[in-house]
Amino acid sequence: MFDKIEVFKMAHAMARHAGSRHAVVAQNMANSDTPGYKAQDIADFQTHLAQTTAQPGRGFDMRATRAAHLNMSQTAGNPAGTPAVFDREGAIADPNGNTVSLETEMVHGVNAKRQHDRAMAIYQSSMTILRSSIGRR
Amino acid sequence: MSEFSNSLSVISSALQAQSQRLRHLSENIANADTPGYRRKTISFHTAMSGAETPGVVETGRVRLDQSDLSQIYDPTHPMADETGNYDGSNVNLMIELSDAREAQRSYEANLRMFEQTRQMGRSLFDLLRR
d(CA A43, CA A66): 37
d(CA A38, CA A88): 8
d(CA A39, CA A34): 11
**Other Cβ atoms within 10 Å of A12 Cβ, number:** 17
Contact A127 B127 (CB under 8 A): yes
**Sequence-ordered list of residues with C-beta below 8 angstroms from that of B111, at least 6 positions apart, any chain:** B15
Torsions phi, psi for A97 (to 5 deg): 85, 5
**Which residues of chain A are within 8 Å of residue B120 when distances are taken between CB atoms?**
18-19, 22, 113, 116-117
For chain A, list the strands marked E by DSSP: 40-42, 59-60, 76-77, 85-87
3-state SS assignment for residue B53: coil
Contact A19 B3 (CB under 8 A): yes
Contact B106 A106 (CB under 8 A): no
B33 min Cα distance to partner chain A (Å): 28
Contact B120 A19 (CB under 8 A): yes
Torsions phi, psi for B99 (to 5 deg): -65, -40
**Sequence-ordered list of residues with C-beta below 8 angstroms from that of B17, at least 6 positions apart, any chain:** A33, B44, B57, B58, B59
Beta bridge partners of residue A77, listed in sequence order: A59
3-state SS assignment for residue A77: strand
Beta bridge partners of residue A80, listed in sequence order: none
**Sequence-ordered list of residues with C-beta below 8 angstroms from that of B122, at least 6 positions apart, any chain:** none
Contact B14 A30 (CB under 8 A): yes
B48 min Cα distance to partner chain A (Å): 11
Please answer whether residues A108 and A29 qualify as being in contact, where contact means their C-beta atoms are separated by less than 8 angstroms. Answer: no
Stretch B78-93: mean pLDDT, rounded? Answer: 88
- pTM for this model (two decimals): 0.80
**Chain pair A-B, CB pairs under 8 angstroms:** 89
**Which residues of chain A are within 8 Å of residue B117 when distances are taken between CB atoms?**
22, 26
In this predicted model, what pLDDT tens digit does every residue of A52-87 receive, in sequence order?
A: 776 655 555 555 566 666 554 444 445 566 778 888
d(CA A26, CA A109): 8
Q: How confident is the model at residue A90 (pLDDT cuts 50, 70, 90)?
A: confident
**Which residues of chain A are within 8 Å of residue B100 when distances are taken between CB atoms?**
none
In this predicted model, what pLDDT tens digit does every residue of A11-40 receive, in sequence order?
A: 988 999 999 999 999 999 999 988 888 888
In this predicted model, what pLDDT tens digit does every residue of B12-70 receive, in sequence order?
A: 999 999 999 999 999 999 999 999 899 999 999 888 766 677 788 888 899 998 888 88
| A-chain residue closest to B57, CA distance | A31
